[in-house]
A and B are shown apart, each in its own frame.
Chain A
Amino acid sequence: MALTDFTIIRRSMTARLFSTVTTVITVAVAVALMLVLLSMRDAGERAFERGSGNMHLLISRDSSPMVSVLNGVFYANAPARPIRWDEYERLTASLPLEFAVPVQLGDSYRGMPVLATTTEFFTKFRPDPVEGWSLAEGRIFEKELEVVVGATAARSTGLRVGDILYVTHGVGSAGAAAAHVHKEYAFTVVGVLKPTGSSHDRALFIDLNSTWILHAHDRRIAENRGPDSLAPLTVADIEEPDRLITGIYVRVITREGQDASAALPQVFSMLRADPSITAAAPTDQIRRLFAIVSNIDQIFVAMAAVVMVSSGIAIMLALYNSMEQRRRQIAVLRVLGCSRPRVFGLVVTESAILGVLGAALGVATAYAGGLIVAAVLKERLGLVIEPSLPLEITLVVVLATVALASAAGIIPAVMAYRTSVARSLRPIG
């Protein structure tokens, strides 16, 4: 094999292995930090964009549209003020809606939200604008006391089809509505969902009648109707005051294959005119939320950029320091026929290679780091973030790193370019 420029660069790097390795690690840390921040932001935004899926509007009695979305789509809290069933029917009767799926939050199982709804939640609503629900096993609930378990909930509880569970009714730990487990009503798991990458993965789903039965049970105890009140109730025992929901997922009629609807603004303003309810457009609310959050993560990204620039300076310093030792080598190469531009190129290329190595190590680190951060977020916050490095972001960061590294090589390369052959080859002493 003939000697090539690349051989010369490689030797130069291995001759100062410690400096090379530390420089590459410095670059890698900066790249990894930048990638994790950018991809987390991206993944976070995507995780939030999922969840509302093909719903246009969310109707609730929460104090503001933002709270309504956080509660109704992201299960932040159980809404305090319910909507009566007759109100639901009145609200949705006259509107041109593709679906109006009633949902009710307030029950839980081992800390995970239990959403009571109808089968339309699975047949009409989709958590992702494109993809619908699919089952890992079993089927959707068909009647009361049947449970469908979200993918994350299933993973953390170990619930499988056929398992029995007892739902906790109510929220909080004190007062009349304090959380209590209904041992009288054994729910059977009939289905486990595949992951959707949305907030719904953390939830369990039951039929509205199921939670209404529990409500009726509590109401009877409160009314103190005697021993017979403790007998397990059925759908037949549900009375009008039990029929409560906390939200309505609404989609206005659209043309085939289109997400936007001409009727949506009209429906939206009609609903907003009703002071007793809160109508929220989830996508708008999520956009607002990220507009608020993006200020903060812009600071993070700016900090990561500063770290990247520092790593560029580290490359420059490493090469700059090596120049004194390399003057003789450069002078010899010049004597042998190497031109000044080629010498310049050797140094810039070495700098760029340091950048490429650092970027490669950084991407690997970011991938591993992303897995760890995602695991921590899931563990601590229950936030499902798929740790993926979007190709575009990765490419941009890698290219930026290589460009930065090349730029960092310019000053040492100019030194190399200007090396005086006669002086550098003068005998020592």
Chain B
Amino acid sequence: MPGESDALNILGLKYRYPAADTRSAKPGWVVDVASLALKPGEQMLLTGGSGRGKSTLLYLTAGLMEPAEGEVRVAGASVGALHGAARDLFRGRHIGMIFQTFNLLQGFSAAENVMAALMFTELPPREHRVKAESLLRHLGIERFDAEPERMSVGQQQRIAVARAVACDPVLVLADEPTASLDPENAAAAMDLIQSICREKNAALLCVSHDPTMASRFSRRASLDDLRDRT
């Protein structure tokens, strides 16, 4: 039985593209996860080829897409039961996301990118900058007021990681976090992501098709493994 103490709990989650969408040429469920649970601080790697719904699973988990069936619980709360602004706020306070392309805010400094994540938390505004800067410093970024576009990709990914964990999330969702990086930077980025999640006791669900990632995670599964076979 899923424990209330689980960081993430997915049950019978199914999704397919709307019929109008051209990609629905591929019939069947794009996402079909019978059951998946992560304990606080637990780290898991999900593999699968591209176009197999890995990213979609993450957006469903974050409540940014609506599943056809099933339920996602984060820290015991049903994401599907939350609506509108309440769900957005819940995501902002409990879930961090890391992307392949970083998705940093253009025209905003490194510190501001991290502070953007704090805007939606309960932290008093006057503490935002201090928290953002200490987090960046902790992750090896000292040029708080520089724009990320002027930094190396490795540094950009660090800012993105800082932003994802700024809200002290229960769950961090990482979508191909190393796909834009060279092997050396990729290893460093994964070290960083995994260690900061451990430090913050945040569960980490990482999707990737990078084979070198496997050795980093004790818990692994392919999307096919998770399918409902009943």
Contact residues of A with B, CB < 8 Å? 1-5, 7-8, 11-12, 14-15, 328-329, 331-342, 421-422, 425-428
Residue of A nearest to B62 (CB): A335
Closest 4 CB pairs of A and B: A337-B92, A337-B120, A2-B125, A339-B85
A427 touches B101 (CB 8 A): yes
Considering the chains assembled together, what is the distance between the CA atoms of A7 and B128 in angstroms? 14
| B-side contacts of A328, CB under 8 Å | 103
CB within 8 A of B91: which of A14, A15, A337, A426? A337
In the complex, whether B183 has a CB less than 8 A from a CB of chain A is no
**A11-B108, A329-B106, A421-B64 known; A336-B59 Cβ under 8 A:** no
Beta-carbon contact of B88 and A338 below 8 Å: yes
Interface contact A422-B55, CB-CB below 8 Å: yes
Binding site for A on B (CB under 8 A): 55-56, 59, 62, 64-65, 84-85, 88-89, 91-93, 97, 99-101, 103-108, 112, 115-121, 125-126, 128-129, 163, 167, 176, 179-180
Alpha-carbon distance A338/B112, docked complex (angstroms): 15
A–B Cβ pairs within 8 angstroms, 28 of them: A3-B115, A3-B118, A3-B119, A4-B119, A4-B125, A12-B107, A328-B103, A332-B116, A333-B105, A335-B97, A335-B103, A336-B117, A337-B120, A337-B121, A339-B85, A339-B88, A341-B85, A342-B85, A342-B88, A421-B59, A422-B55, A422-B56, A422-B59, A422-B65, A425-B101, A427-B99, A427-B180, A428-B101
Q: Are B128 and A15 in contact (CB under 8 A)?
A: no
Contacts known (A336-B163, A337-B91, A340-B88); A3 close to B107, Cβ less than 8 A: no
Q: Give min CB distance, A2 to chain B, whole Å.
A: 4
Q: Which residues from B are CB-within-8-Å of A331?
A: 103
Q: Is there an interface contact between A338 and B56, defined as CB atoms closer than 8 Å?
A: no
Residue of B nearest to A325 (CB): B106
Instruction: Select one of A329, A339, A422, A428 contacting B84, CB under 8 A.
Output: A339
| Residues of chain B with a CB closer than 8 A to A2's CB | 115, 118-119, 125-126, 128-129
Contact partners of B88 in chain A: CB under 8 A? 334, 337-340, 342
Classify the secondary structure of A's interface with B: helix
A-chain residues with CB within 8 Å of residue B116 when the two chains form the complex:
3, 8, 332-333, 336
Q: How far is the CA of A8 from the CA of B105 in the complex (A)?
A: 10
Q: Are A15 and B107 in contact (CB under 8 A)?
A: yes
Instruction: Return chain B residues, CB-CB under 8 Å to A339.
Output: 84-85, 88-89
- How far is it, in angstroms, between the C-alpha of A421 and the C-alpha of B88 when the chains are bound? 12
Whether the pair B103, A3 counts as a contact (CB closer than 8 A) is no
- CA separation between A138 and B108, bound complex, in Å? 68
Residues of B within 8 A of A426 (CB): 55
**In the assembled complex, which residues on chain A have CB atoms less than 8 Å from the CB atom of B112?**
3, 7
Name the residue of chain B whose CB is nearest to the CB of A8.
B116
A340 proximity list for chain B (CB < 8 A)? 84-85, 88
Whole-angstrom distance between the alpha carbons of A331 and B103 in the complex?
Answer: 9
The verdict on A338 contacting B128 (CB below 8 Å), with A332-B105, A422-B56, A422-B64 known, is: no
Cα of A333 to Cα of B115 in the assembled complex, Å: 11
Q: Which residues of A contact B180 (CB under 8 A)?
A: 427
Contact pick for A427, options B59, B62, B100, B108, CB 8 Å: B100
Chain A: which residue is nearest B86 at the CB level?
Answer: A339
Not counting A336-B92, A338-B92, a sample of 19 additional A-B residue pairs whose C-beta atoms are within 8 angstroms of each other reads A3-B115, A7-B112, A12-B107, A14-B107, A328-B103, A335-B103, A336-B116, A337-B88, A337-B93, A337-B120, A337-B121, A337-B167, A339-B85, A339-B89, A340-B88, A422-B55, A422-B56, A427-B101, A427-B176
Residue of B nearest to A11 (CB): B107
How far does the Cβ of A361 sit from chain B's closest Cβ, in whole Å?
A: 24
Residues of B contacting A422 with CB < 8 Å?
55-56, 59, 64-65
A8 to B107 Cα, complex, angstroms: 10
Does the CB pair B99–A425 fall under 8 Å?
Answer: yes
* Chain A residues with CB below 8 A from B62, complex form: 335
Q: CA separation between A7 and B176, bound complex, in Å?
A: 30
- Contact (Cβ within 8 A) A1 B129: yes
B24 CB, nearest partner CB in chain A, Å: 15
Contacts of B108 in A (CB 8 A): 3, 11
Known contacts A3-B128, A427-B100; is-contact A335 B91 (Cβ 8 Å): yes
Chain A residues within an 8 Å CB radius of B85: 339-342
Contacts of A341 in B (CB 8 A): 84-85
Q: Cα distance A335–B55 when bound, in Å? A: 14
- Residue in A closest to B111 when the chains form the complex, CB atoms: A3
Docked Cα-Cα span, A90 to B84, in Å, equals: 87
Collect the chain B residues with CB atoms within 8 Å of residue A7's CB.
112
> In the complex, which of the residues B55, B107, B126, B179 has the most CB atoms of chain A within 10 Å of its own CB atom?
B107
B103 touches A425 (CB 8 A): yes
In the bound complex, CA of A11 to CA of B147 (Å): 13
> In the assembly, what is the distance between CA of A426 and CA of B129, in Å?
29
- Please measure, in the bound complex, the distance between the C-alpha atom of A337 and the C-alpha atom of B121, giving whole angstroms: 8
Complex Cα distance, B86 from A340, in Å, reads 11
